[in-house]
Amino acid sequence: MISKDKHGVDCANLDKNIDPADDFYEYACGGWKKAHPLPAEHSRYGMFDLLREENRKKLRTLVEELGQDSDSRITGTVAQKVSDLFAQGMDMERRNREGAAPLRPQLDHIAAASDFSELLAWAHNGITGTFLSTGVGPDPKDSGMNIMHAGEGGLGLGDRDYYLVDNDNNRRILDAYKTYIRRIMELIGYPESDRDRVCDNVMRIETELARYKKTREERRDPTKSYYMLAYEDFKKEFPVLDWDRYFATLGVRDIDRINVGSRNYLARLTEYLPTLGIQEIKDYLVFQAVDGATGLLSEDFFNASFQMYDVTMSGIEEPEPLWKRALGVPGSMLGEAIGQLYVKRWFPEENKTYVRSLVENLRHALADHIKSLAWMSEPTKTKALEKLAGLTVKIGYPDKWKDYSAITVDPGLPYLENVYRASVWYVQDNYSKMGKPVDKEEWFMFPQTVNAYYSPQNNEICFPAGILQPPYFDITADDAMNYGAIGVVIGHEMTHGFDDQGRRFDSHGNLHEWWAKEDAERFNALADRLVQQFDEVEVAPGTHANGRYTLGENIADQGGLRIALTAWLRFLGYGDLEAARDFLTTPDGLADGFTPLQRFYLAYAMLWAGNIRPEEILVRVQSDPHSLGRQRVNTTLSNIDEFYKAFSITAQSPLWREEDRRTIIW
């Protein structure tokens, strides 16, 4: 059953000095980690990052070739827009010469403003999402229709805990943040007394806003993000702005209803904003405008931002080379246009065909798992199978490409101005969807992206071409490798439709409690056991993983592993594990010397090989819903019986978890 022209595990990635029963993560990934020390420009460097770096080299080739194309000299062509934008990003001499001047129109606008509602609408139209946010998206309970949403605004440091939790690390970051605020105010010409005032105002406002924001755990509950109001009732309950004037400034009219994504936040903001003076508000908006533009201005601005967000927060030692930073701007502004060229060159049709068949094997496998669940009742199983059957699968690239013809890039304008104009286009493109049916063909990642997603409101999974390459997918690899790698990733995304968040949405993507109450209780009891397992893990001295915040991803990792194994056996023609036992546990002659089952689990573990800085561990514990790579391997696999059998792990082994403490959900 094994094709001898296929390859298995790259043993150079292993550390065979480690017993897999002691630390499977280090055994599977130790060789790779030693061979790939942390580059100075990274806070974390793993398989994902390696693949992204390889992708960036390909994209650089595409962009530089576009610059040599005759179309690059024709105004309005994709080649012209991409090549001119990349060239502006690379022209640091011009950016240094211009200094803060490109910001001047924005700063003058803030200084001259007299109406707060109009000023905030202007800021939200491509400048910054401060104080609060508005935007168009599917109605949570009618997923086929786009409506207006209102919710929380962002914070400079991202997570609320930096402002509210008193510990050594947060104090260190807050002190650096104050220095940073003063520095970028200095760069736009503010005298020292004004810098101090801005810093005080920013810190006071952001600390207050942080108190109102949802916790990480609350954000995982979609029912806490649903509060639908008729527009007239919304204006009465939250008179924080002159909403008619705000939306008119944004060019939005005929709003009939709004979903409030954070009711408590808007209620508290309605009380708090009137206590602020116009100078405090303008100071905060000036800071937000400058902070959001640092990567598009001179080296002084970039260096200040790099020192704050990369060195202080994540421990990065040196910045990325200029070409990588410059490449990211056309890559995000004109992503599908570049993606169209990318897939034409680097995503053969045979890859799409293989992955599509793999997806269908996984769909059947998940259906089998659902049917056999002891904790789920038959009526809920019927609805779960209906949801699974209705799951849409997007592979490689969209069938319909986005039209960027309305985005203009004028090399005579400053770099910041061109990016700002594109940002306005994106904001207006979003608002233009209000009241219209949701476009189910739209993609939320570019084809060249190294990632994947599940959308609960579209009930769809998406795997861009960027991730469908080694080590995640390799058409020349043994099938055990592909099922253990991209197969698990696909199974992971599928099970998101049934995790603590995804299960709240039905087969049509509507927010709806379709589980029987008793099923939800049994699911939550199992999930709580998984939460406890991850809570027990100390990821840094005195810091533990957050099992509740990472619950959905941890469920999906485990579910993906189990479903991918079933799908692989189905692909091979085996009805169950016992029928395949001899095949799975016997070395099959490939050069790596492993059994097929060992190869499956090694392929999974190698996905999470990586090195990470101590500072970045602390950042991710506060901001990342995914567990760290070591826990995605060791803690997750410690629940799976077949893993123990594959590597002869016994009760005397450090990885052993007693059978009555193992938790299986899917």
Provide φ and ψ at 253, rounded to 5°. Answer: -135, 170
- What is the rounded CA–CA span in Å between residue 646 and residue 340? 42
Provide φ and ψ at 283, rounded to 5°. Answer: -60, -45
- What is the rounded CA–CA span in Å between residue 358 and residue 353? 9
Nearest residue to 9 (alpha-carbon basis) of 662, 646, 661, 655: 646
Nearest residue to 333 (alpha-carbon basis) of 408, 443, 251: 408
What pLDDT is recorded for position 593? 87
Q: Is 71's pLDDT higher than 80?
A: no
Nearest residue to 216 (alpha-carbon basis) of 521, 548, 500: 548
The answer to whether 401 and 344 have CB atoms below 8 angstroms apart is: no
Local confidence band at 140 (pLDDT 50, 70, 90 cut-offs): very high
Mean of the pLDDT values across residues 527-550?
94
What pLDDT is recorded for position 3? 52
323 versus 221: which is more confidently predicted? 323
Query: Within 13 Å, how many C-alpha atoms sit on residue 489's CB side?
Result: 26
**Residue 641 C-alpha from the chain's centroid:** 31
Lowest mean pLDDT among 410-419, 526-535, 576-585: 576-585
**What is the CATH number assigned to the segment(s) 101-296?**
1.10.1380.10
What pLDDT is recorded for position 69? 82
- What is the rounded CA–CA span in Å between residue 4 and residue 589? 8
In which element (H, E) is residue 149 found? strand 142-152
Rounded to two decimals, the pTM is: 0.89
For residue range 251-294, what is the model confidence (pLDDT) as tens digits? Answer: 999 999 999 999 999 999 999 999 999 999 999 999 999 999 99
Q: Which two tokens stand for residue 553?
A: 């991803």
A 10 A CB-CB count for 345 gives 10
What pLDDT is recorded for position 428? 97
Query: Within 13 Å, how many C-alpha atoms sit on residue 324's CB side?
Result: 11
**Domain 14-57+335-398+408-434+447-661 in CATH: superfamily?**
Collagenase (Catalytic Domain) (3.40.390.10)
Give the percent of the chain with pLDDT over 90.
89
Give the percent of the chain with pLDDT over 70.
99
Lowest mean pLDDT among 123-132, 503-512, 570-579: 570-579
Every domain of the chain and the residues it spans: 14-57+335-398+408-434+447-661, 101-296
Local confidence band at 75 (pLDDT 50, 70, 90 cut-offs): confident
Q: Answer whether 14-57+335-398+408-434+447-661 and 101-296 agree in fold.
A: no
The answer to whether 592 and 12 have CB atoms below 8 angstroms apart is: no
For residue range 360-377, what is the model confidence (pLDDT) as tens digits? Answer: 999 999 999 999 999 999
